[in-house]
Amino acid sequence: MRSDPPAQLAVLLAMTGLTQTDAAALLGVAGRSMRRWIEGAQPPPAVVIERLAALARELDQVADQLVSAINQEESEQAILLVYRRDDDVPAWTGLRTAGCHLAMVRRVVERRPDVQLVSYHPGAYRRWRGCRPDSEQMRAGWAASCLARL
Protein backbone atom coordinates (compact mmCIF):
# COMPACT_ATOMS: atom_id res chain seq x y z
CA MET A 1 0.00 0.00 0.00
CA ARG A 2 1.40 3.37 -1.02
CA SER A 3 1.15 6.45 1.12
CA ASP A 4 -0.53 9.58 -0.14
CA PRO A 5 2.46 11.96 -0.70
CA PRO A 6 0.70 15.14 0.56
CA ALA A 7 -0.40 13.29 3.72
CA GLN A 8 3.09 11.85 4.17
CA LEU A 9 4.58 15.32 3.74
CA ALA A 10 2.18 16.80 6.32
CA VAL A 11 3.07 14.07 8.82
CA LEU A 12 6.79 14.62 8.26
CA LEU A 13 6.38 18.35 8.85
CA ALA A 14 4.60 17.59 12.12
CA MET A 15 7.27 15.04 13.12
CA THR A 16 10.09 17.50 12.47
CA GLY A 17 8.38 20.58 13.88
CA LEU A 18 9.00 22.48 10.66
CA THR A 19 6.55 24.98 9.25
CA GLN A 20 5.97 24.97 5.50
CA THR A 21 8.18 28.06 5.29
CA ASP A 22 10.98 26.45 7.35
CA ALA A 23 10.81 23.28 5.26
CA ALA A 24 10.93 25.24 2.00
CA ALA A 25 14.01 27.13 3.21
CA LEU A 26 15.69 23.93 4.39
CA LEU A 27 14.99 22.20 1.09
CA GLY A 28 15.92 25.22 -1.01
CA VAL A 29 12.56 25.45 -2.74
CA ALA A 30 9.98 28.19 -3.08
CA GLY A 31 7.25 28.36 -0.46
CA ARG A 32 4.77 28.09 -3.31
CA SER A 33 6.16 24.67 -4.26
CA MET A 34 5.78 23.46 -0.69
CA ARG A 35 2.20 24.72 -0.58
CA ARG A 36 1.36 22.92 -3.84
CA TRP A 37 2.84 19.69 -2.51
CA ILE A 38 0.87 19.94 0.74
CA GLU A 39 -2.35 20.74 -1.13
CA GLY A 40 -1.80 17.79 -3.47
CA ALA A 41 -1.69 19.97 -6.59
CA GLN A 42 1.71 18.48 -7.40
CA PRO A 43 3.43 15.43 -5.94
CA PRO A 44 6.56 16.24 -3.93
CA PRO A 45 9.80 14.86 -5.34
CA ALA A 46 11.00 11.71 -3.58
CA VAL A 47 14.09 13.58 -2.38
CA VAL A 48 11.87 15.94 -0.37
CA ILE A 49 10.24 13.04 1.48
CA GLU A 50 13.65 11.40 1.98
CA ARG A 51 15.27 14.56 3.43
CA LEU A 52 12.41 15.24 5.83
CA ALA A 53 12.32 11.58 6.90
CA ALA A 54 16.08 11.78 7.53
CA LEU A 55 15.56 14.86 9.70
CA ALA A 56 12.85 13.04 11.67
CA ARG A 57 15.26 10.13 12.24
CA GLU A 58 17.96 12.60 13.28
CA LEU A 59 15.62 14.10 15.89
CA ASP A 60 14.90 10.60 17.19
CA GLN A 61 18.64 9.96 17.51
CA VAL A 62 19.24 13.25 19.34
CA ALA A 63 16.38 12.45 21.73
CA ASP A 64 17.75 8.94 22.31
CA GLN A 65 21.21 10.38 23.06
CA LEU A 66 19.76 12.88 25.53
CA VAL A 67 17.72 10.21 27.28
CA SER A 68 20.79 7.97 27.44
CA ALA A 69 22.83 10.83 28.96
CA ILE A 70 20.04 11.54 31.46
CA ASN A 71 19.89 7.86 32.42
CA GLN A 72 23.64 7.81 33.07
CA GLU A 73 23.64 10.91 35.27
CA GLU A 74 23.63 10.50 38.99
CA SER A 75 21.53 13.61 39.65
CA GLU A 76 18.13 13.48 41.28
CA GLN A 77 16.28 15.28 38.51
CA ALA A 78 16.70 15.60 34.76
CA ILE A 79 16.25 19.12 33.40
CA LEU A 80 15.70 20.18 29.81
CA LEU A 81 15.60 23.76 28.54
CA VAL A 82 12.77 24.55 26.14
CA TYR A 83 13.43 27.09 23.40
CA ARG A 84 10.42 28.69 21.74
CA ARG A 85 12.11 31.10 19.34
CA ASP A 86 14.53 30.26 16.55
CA ASP A 87 16.98 32.93 17.74
CA ASP A 88 17.21 31.29 21.17
CA VAL A 89 18.21 27.82 19.96
CA PRO A 90 21.99 27.64 20.43
CA ALA A 91 24.12 26.44 17.53
CA TRP A 92 25.62 23.64 19.62
CA THR A 93 22.27 21.80 19.57
CA GLY A 94 22.56 21.30 15.83
CA LEU A 95 18.80 21.91 15.54
CA ARG A 96 17.65 24.22 12.78
CA THR A 97 14.59 25.81 14.34
CA ALA A 98 12.69 26.10 17.59
CA GLY A 99 10.08 23.85 15.98
CA CYS A 100 12.71 21.13 15.48
CA HIS A 101 13.83 21.64 19.06
CA LEU A 102 10.26 21.29 20.35
CA ALA A 103 9.77 18.15 18.26
CA MET A 104 12.92 16.71 19.88
CA VAL A 105 11.75 17.75 23.37
CA ARG A 106 8.45 15.95 22.75
CA ARG A 107 10.40 12.79 21.95
CA VAL A 108 12.47 13.11 25.15
CA VAL A 109 9.36 13.62 27.28
CA GLU A 110 7.72 10.58 25.68
CA ARG A 111 10.74 8.49 26.68
CA ARG A 112 11.33 10.13 30.08
CA PRO A 113 8.10 11.69 31.41
CA ASP A 114 9.88 12.64 34.65
CA VAL A 115 12.15 15.17 32.94
CA GLN A 116 11.71 18.71 34.26
CA LEU A 117 11.12 21.34 31.57
CA VAL A 118 12.32 24.92 31.97
CA SER A 119 11.36 27.66 29.50
CA TYR A 120 14.32 29.65 28.27
CA HIS A 121 14.03 33.40 28.89
CA PRO A 122 16.94 35.24 27.26
CA GLY A 123 16.78 38.35 29.46
CA ALA A 124 16.62 36.40 32.72
CA TYR A 125 19.42 34.13 31.55
CA ARG A 126 21.64 37.10 30.56
CA ARG A 127 21.09 38.74 33.96
CA TRP A 128 21.92 35.49 35.78
CA ARG A 129 24.97 34.81 33.60
CA GLY A 130 26.43 38.30 33.88
CA CYS A 131 29.75 38.59 32.06
CA ARG A 132 30.42 34.86 32.03
CA PRO A 133 30.52 33.29 28.56
CA ASP A 134 27.48 31.45 27.25
CA SER A 135 27.83 27.67 27.17
CA GLU A 136 25.82 24.51 27.45
CA GLN A 137 26.95 24.14 31.07
CA MET A 138 25.93 27.72 31.90
CA ARG A 139 22.46 27.19 30.48
CA ALA A 140 22.13 23.94 32.43
CA GLY A 141 23.17 25.76 35.60
CA TRP A 142 20.63 28.51 34.97
CA ALA A 143 17.87 25.96 34.35
CA ALA A 144 18.74 24.18 37.62
CA SER A 145 18.65 27.50 39.47
CA CYS A 146 15.21 28.22 38.01
CA LEU A 147 13.88 24.93 39.38
CA ALA A 148 15.52 25.55 42.76
CA ARG A 149 13.53 28.77 43.09
CA LEU A 150 10.20 27.02 42.57
pLDDT for the residue numbered 70: 87
pLDDT for the residue numbered 75: 67
Q: What pTM, to 2 d.p., does this model score? A: 0.88
- Extents of the domains making up the chain: 5-148
pLDDT, one tens digit per residue, over 19-59 is 999 999 999 999 999 999 999 999 999 999 999 999 999 99
Domain formed by 5-148, architecture: Orthogonal Bundle (1.10)
Q: What are the residue ranges of helices labelled H in the chain? A: 5-16, 20-27, 31-39, 46-72, 98-111, 122-129, 136-148
